């Protein structure tokens, strides 16, 4: 397993195990929990989350990456939205993306802890 794959797997474990009351986490909180040290901690965290988004899209699961937001607001960074659109899961219209995110967040919360190959109805 590559370092990037291990980092993504660890991020998934942390997000699945985090108490619901602590969610969403910020990118910095996740970087700290992953034990990342500068430089480029947020960039490495974002790359790990993007890998999880691709994996979740391939398996038809909600994006667990939706449980991570920017500290400057209550939404993920723009890269999350760009990739969600690219993966065909979010509307291209930016005016509809916040609502799509909130629904994805709810679904990701509900799906935590389900078996790895399971799909929500």
Mean pLDDT across 40-55: 97
What integer pLDDT is reported at residue 115 of this predicted model? 41
pLDDT digit string, tens, across residues 61-79:
999 999 999 998 899 999 9
What integer pLDDT is reported at residue 72 of this predicted model? 87
User: DSSP labels for 19-83?
Assistant: -GGGPSEEHHHHHHHTT--SSSHHHHHHHHHHHHHHHHHHHT---GGGGEE-TTSSS--HHHHHH
Residue 114 has pLDDT above 70, yes or no: no
In the chain, where the domains are located = 3-111
pLDDT > 90: what percent of the chain? 86
């Amino acid at each position: 397993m590559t370092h990037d794959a291990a980092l993504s797997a660890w991020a998934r474990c942390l997000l699945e195990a985090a108490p619901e009351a602590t969610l969403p986490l910020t990118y910095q909180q996740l970087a700290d929990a992953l034990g990342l040290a500068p430089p480029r901690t947020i960039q490495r965290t974002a790359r790990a989350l993007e890998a999880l988004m691709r994996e979740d899209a391939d398996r038809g699961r909600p994006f667990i990456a939706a449980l991570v937001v920017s500290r400057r607001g209550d939404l993920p960074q723009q890269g999350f939205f760009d990739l969600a659109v690219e993966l065909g899961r979010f509307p291209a219209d930016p005016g509809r993306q916040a609502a799509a995110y909130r629904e994805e967040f709810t679904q990701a919360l509900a799906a935590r802890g389900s078996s790895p190959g399971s799909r929500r109805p």
